[in-house]
Amino acid sequence: MTTTFGVDLPQPALLYTPTQGVPIRVIEAPTDYITPSIQIATTIFAAAVSVLVIVLQLRRQHREAIEQHKRSVKADLQLEAYREFQSAIRPYSDASVPTATMASIRTAFAIAVDRTQAGLDQAPVIYRAPAFMGELNRYAEAAVRLIFFIERYDALLVGFDIFKIAINSAIHDIHHTNLLFQSMLIRWLPIENPEVARNPAAAPFIYRPDITANTLIEFDALAEPLQVALGRLQCWIGDLAVEVQNHLLGEYADQPVERRNAPNQSYFTVTAAPDERQRLDGLFSAMPFMQQAIAAGNHARQANQRG
Least confident of 123-127, 163-167, 239-243: 123-127
Neighbours of 218 (CB within 10 A): 17
Residue 252 has what pLDDT?
82
Is pLDDT at 24 greater than 90 in this prediction?
Answer: no
Least confident of 70-74, 119-123, 205-209: 70-74
Q: pLDDT by residue (tens digit) across 68-82?
A: 656 667 788 889 999
Decide if 174 contacts 226 (C-beta within 8 A). yes
Which among 50-64, 101-115, 194-208 has the top mean pLDDT? 101-115
Burial class (CB in 10 A: 0-12, 13-18, 19+), 72: exposed
Residue 143 has what pLDDT?
97
Query: Where residue 99 falls among pLDDT bands split at 50, 70, 90?
Result: very high
For helices 161-188 and 277-285, angle between their N-to-C axes, nearest 10 degrees: 30
- Percent of the chain predicted with pLDDT > 90: 61
Which among 90-94, 281-285, 299-303 has the top mean pLDDT? 281-285
Residue 69 has what pLDDT?
56
Mean pLDDT value across residues 231-245: 97
Contacts of 98 (CB under 8 A, 6+ apart): 132, 135, 136, 139, 230
Mean pLDDT value across residues 10-30: 50
Residue 48 has what pLDDT?
67
Compute the distance between CA of residue 169 and CA of residue 270 in angstroms, rounded to an integer: 12
* Residue (of 185, 44, 29) closest to 105 by Cα position: 185
* Residue (of 149, 161, 148, 143) closest to 277 by Cα position: 161
pTM for the model stands at 0.76
Is pLDDT at 297 greater than 50 in this prediction?
Answer: yes
What residue spans define the domains of the chain? 97-297
Q: pLDDT by residue (tens digit) across 161-197?
A: 999 999 999 999 999 999 999 999 999 999 999 998 8
Beta-bridged to residue 292, according to DSSP, are none
Residue 75 has what pLDDT?
82
